[in-house]
Structure 1
Amino acid sequence: MSASLDSGLSPTPRTARLQLFAELRGPATVPRPLDARALAALAANPGCRRRALLDGAGVDKSALAAKLGSPAPFGQSQFAIVRGNSFEAKVKADGGRELLRLIGVEEPGAVSVPDLAAAGPQGRVARTALALREATAAGTWTLLDHPLLALEVAGSPVYLEPDAVVVRPDGTWTVVEIKSFPMVDGAADASKVGAAARQAAVYVLALERVAAVTEGARVAQSVLLVCPKDFSNVPTASVVDVRKQRAVTRRQLARLTRVDEIADALPEGTSFDVVERSAAELTAAVESVPHQYAPECLAACELAFHCRARSREADAVETLGRSVRGELGGLPTVGAVLAASRGEAGDPEDPAVAALCRARALREEALAAADVSSERGGRSCR
C-alpha cells in the first residue's frame, strides 16, 4: 500500500509517512500519541506487526476494538488517574520540596527549575535538550518538571514525557517516576514496580540520545520511584535498577520492523478509520496485518480479546503462552500437538514430539492404575 500524492512534487520521507498514517487511521481522526507505557508493551512483543502498525499510525485501538465487537477493559480507571494526578501534585508542591527532600536536597532554593514551555512537541524537545545542557554545564542541582524527550521507533519519532528528571552537580541525569500505588514497609507490589521499571527504561533510552551530544553528561541506570508510604499520602522513594529493562527494551525496539514497510504490504485501500468504515471492513483490515498473540497481551493491548478469539479459532498454540509455544517447536496448532502425542504426526526424532509421546504414555499408565485401584475399592473415584 502506498500513499497517494496530490502534488507532482516528491514529498520528504517524513511528509510521506505522515500522509500514509493519516490515510490508515482516517484523515479526520486525530492521531493517538504513543507514550512510554505503550512503548514498553510494544517492546515486550516486537513480533506483533499489527500493534506496531496501529501504534505507529496513531490508531485508537480502544475505539477499533469496540467497533470490532471485542472491547477490552484496558487502561487506568478514572479514579486511579485522579488519585495519581493528586499524588503527583502533592509531591511537586511548593517548588518540589518533597521531591527534592527525597533526592537528598535539604534547601530547595539551591535547585534550579527551568521553564520548559515551547511551541509544539519539537519545540519542547529542543527546549528540554537545551535545559539539560545548561544544567550540566553549570554544575548545579536542576529539576526538570515534565520534560519532553524524543525517541525514534520503527522509523517514526515518538515523544515521551517523564514525570521529572533531576540533574546532579556531577552531570548525572536521573529519571523520576511518580506512582500512586503504595510502598508498604519499604516494598511495593513486584508486578507494578516491574511495569514502572520498564516504562522508566524507555525514558532512560531517550535521555541517552541527548546525553550522547552533551559534554560531561551521564544518564543514571537506576531511577527514583516515588510512591505513597504505607497507606498514607506521604511520599517515600526507592531506587530501582533498570539496567536489565533498558537492555531488553533497546534490543526489542531495534527488532521492530519499520512501520512503512509493514504498510507497504497491505492491500490497496486498507484503512482503520473507525468513523467511516464498517465493522466488516475493519475486521478485514485488521486481519490483513499479522499478529503475535500471547496471554500477556491481555494486560497490555486493547485488541487482545480480538486477537485471542482469532488465535483460538485457528487452534494456535500461542494461546497457551510463549513458553509453551517455545517448547513445542514446529507444532503450530493444538490439534497437531495432540496428534503428535498419539504418534500420528511429527518427526519421532523431534525432542518435542518424543516428550509428548512419553507424557501421553505416562498419563495412560496413571489412568489405568487409577482404574484398577478404584475397581479394587469397589467404587469409582472421581
Structure 2
Amino acid sequence: MNVSRESRPSLRKQLTELRGPGVRPRSLDARALAALAANPGCRRRALLDGAGVDKGALARALGSPAAYGQSQFALARGNSFEARVKADGGLELLRLVCERLAPGTAAPEDGAVARPDLSAAGPEGRAARTALALREATAAGGWALLDHPLLAMEVAGSPAYVEPDAVVVHPDGSWTVVEIKSFPMIDGTADAAKVGAAARQAAVYVLALEAVAEHTAAHTGRPARVRDRALLVCPKDFSNLPTAAAVDVRKQRATTRRQLARLTRVEEIAAALPPGTTFDLRLADDGQTPTRPAGELAKAVDAVTAAYAPECLAACELAFHCRRRSRQDGAVESLGRGLRGELGGLRTIEEALAAAGGAPGADPDDPAVQALRTAAALRAAALSGHAPRQGEDTCR
C-alpha cells in the first residue's frame, strides 16, 4: 500500500498536474475506498481518486451530475439510530458485541468500560490521539469503547483519514470494528447489497487498524490484533431497536488491499495519457463556475479507460457520464457485469443481437451464441403462441 520514498516526489508532481495548479486534493473516505474495491478494473476511477480529483464537480462540468446520495431525512434517521445504539455509554452496543462475537461472555458493567476522549486539533492530532487511546486500552487489558475514532492510512502516497462508527477493545487485546447502519435487519437478514457495501467499508477500517495494531504490540508488549469479523448493527425488523450480526470481512479486506496497492501505481496509468492531459476545471473567480470547455474535459476523461457497470450508479459521481459513453459504444457492460461474463467474446449489444438472430458470422458452437438463439426462439414462440418442437430450427 505504501509508495517508495524515491517515487513519492514524482508521483505527487504527476497528481498535482492532473488536478491542476492550486487545486487541493480531495480526501478519500472509507466509502470511496470501499467503492474502489468494488470495481477494481476501473482505471479511470483509480486515477481520479488517486489524484484527488473532485469527481462530483467534474461530472457537473461534463453535464452529467451525480444523482445519488443520502437524503437529509435518511441522514437524520441514521444519526438518531446511532445515538440510540450508543446510549447509556454504549452498554447495549457492548452487549451485542458479546452476544454476536463472544457467545457466553458476560457483557461488561458500566464502570468496567473505558471511554477515552479522542478530541484533538486537526485530523493528524485526532489520529494520533486515537492511536494512543488504543495502546493505553490494550495495555490496561480491559474493555474500551472508542466512539468515532480517526484512523490514518496512506493512499497513493498521500495521507487519508477514515472514521469508523466505533472500535471496541476486548480484554484479550483484540479489536472489533463496529458499523452502524439504518437499513433494517428483518428476521435476522438484511439486504445483501447493502451488507456487502458495509462489509467493504468495514474492511477499509480493518486495514487502517492493522497498522496501528503493529505499533501497539511493539510498544505495549501485549498482542494486539484486529478481528476478522466486524459487527454490523441495524434496526430490528420494523422497529428502532438495535440488533446485530457478525460479518466476516477477510475477503473484502484482501480485495481492498489489492486495489489500494493499484493506487500506488497511478503514475503508470498517468504515463500512458496524452501529454498535457489534466482534469483542471479552471474555476472562475467565484470558485464555483468552471471555465474550461466541456469538450476538453470529456476528451481528458475519456483518455482513461473505465469499467462501467450499472452498480456504478450507486457508488461513483462519474457514473452517468460513463453510462452515456458505454451506451454510445453499445458495450454489453452497460447491461451488467454478470451478463458481460455470460456473453464471452461478444463485446457489443449489436454483436449479441446479431448472434441471436442467426447471423452467419457467429460461431454456432459458442455456448453464448447457442443460449442467445434459444432465448430468441423462446421469445418468438411466446409472442406467436407457437411452442417450438424439440429439434426444430428456431433461426429460420
Q: How much does 1:118 deviate?
A: 4.0
- Which residue does 1:126 correspond to in 2? 128
Match of residue 242, structure 1, among 246, 249, 253: 249
1:269 maps to a residue whose letter is G
1:51 matches 2:42 = no
Change (3 A) 1:183 1:317: closer
Given candidates 209, 215, 226, the residue that maps to 1:219 is: 226
Superposed CA offset, 1:317-340 (max 9, x none): 111211221122222212222334
In structure 2, the residue matched to 1:89 is 83
Q: Distance in 1 between matches of 2:182 and 2:354?
A: 50
Q: Distance in 2 between matches of 1:362 and 1:99?
A: 54
Q: 1: distance between equivalents of 2:387 and 2:19?
A: 60
CA, structure 1 residues 122+343, in 2 after alignment: closer, same or farther (shift >3 Å)?
Answer: same
- Where does residue 281 of structure 1 map in the other structure? 296
Instruction: Tell me what 2:118 maps to.
Output: 116
8 Å contact from structure 1 (residues 155, 258) kept in 2: no
CA distance in 2, matches of 1:237, 1:355: 42
Structure 2 residue aligned with 1:23 = 17
Give secondary structure in 1 for the equivalent of 2:152: strand
Q: Deviations over 1:207-231 (max 9, x none)?
A: 2233344241122111122233444
Amino acid at match of 1:265: A
Tell me which residue corresponds to 2:192: 190
Residue 322 (structure 2) aligns with: 307
**Does structure 1 residue 331 correspond to structure 2 residue 352?**
no
232-241 or 258-267, which moves further after superposition? 232-241
Query: How far does residue 164 in structure 1 lie from its aligned partner after superposition?
Result: 0.9
> 1:240 is matched by which residue type in structure 2?
V
TM-superposed CA distance for 1:138, in Å, is 1.9
| Runs of at least 5 residues in structure 1 that lack an aligned partner in the other structure | 1-10, 373-382
State the shift of 1:355 in Å: 4.5
The SS at the match of 2:275 is coil
Secondary structure of the corresponding residue to residue 370 of structure 1: coil
**Unmatched runs of 5 consecutive residues or more in structure 2:** 99-106, 284-290, 389-396
Q: Distance in 1 between matches of 2:257 and 2:195?
A: 19
In 2: Cα distance, 1:236 partner to 1:65 partner: 38
Contact 2:12–2:157 (CA<8 Å) still a contact in 1? no
Give aligned pairs, total. Answer: 363
Task: Single out whichever of 78-87 and 253-262 deviates more from structure 2.
Answer: 253-262
The match for 1:345 among 330, 354, 361 is: 361
Query: For structure 1, which segment, 243-252 or 104-113, has the greater mean C-alpha deviation from structure 2 after superposition?
Result: 243-252
Question: Against the structure 1 CA distance between its residues 253 and 354, is the aligned structure 2 distance closer, same or farther, given a 3 Å change threshold?
Answer: farther
Structure 2: how far apart are the matches of 1:184 and 1:318? 33
CA distance in 1, matches of 2:160, 2:20: 20
CA displacement, residues 251-274 of structure 1 (integer Å, 9 cap, x when unaligned): 454455722222222223322233
2:34 matches 1:40: yes
* 2:47–2:263 Cα contact (<8 Å) kept: no
Residue identity (%)? 71
Tell me which amino acid in the other structure corresponds to 2:70.
Answer: Q
Give the conservation status (yes or no) of the 8 Å contact 1:32–1:59: yes
- Output the amino acid matched with 2:126: R
Partner of 1:6: none
Q: Aligned equivalents of 2:386 and 2:364: distance in 1?
A: 29
> Counterparts of 1:336 and 1:318 in 2: how far apart (Å)?
13
The alignment yields a C-alpha RMSD, in angstroms, of 3.1
8 Å Cα contact 1:44-1:252 kept in structure 2: no
CA contact under 8 A between 1:163 and 1:178: conserved in structure 2?
yes
User: What is the TM-score with the length of structure 1 in the denominator?
Assistant: 0.83
Contact 2:126 2:150 in 1 (8 A): yes
The CA deviation at 1:349 is 5.1
Match of 1:205 in 2: 207
Match of 2:8 in 1: 14
Superposed displacement of residue 306, structure 1:
1.0
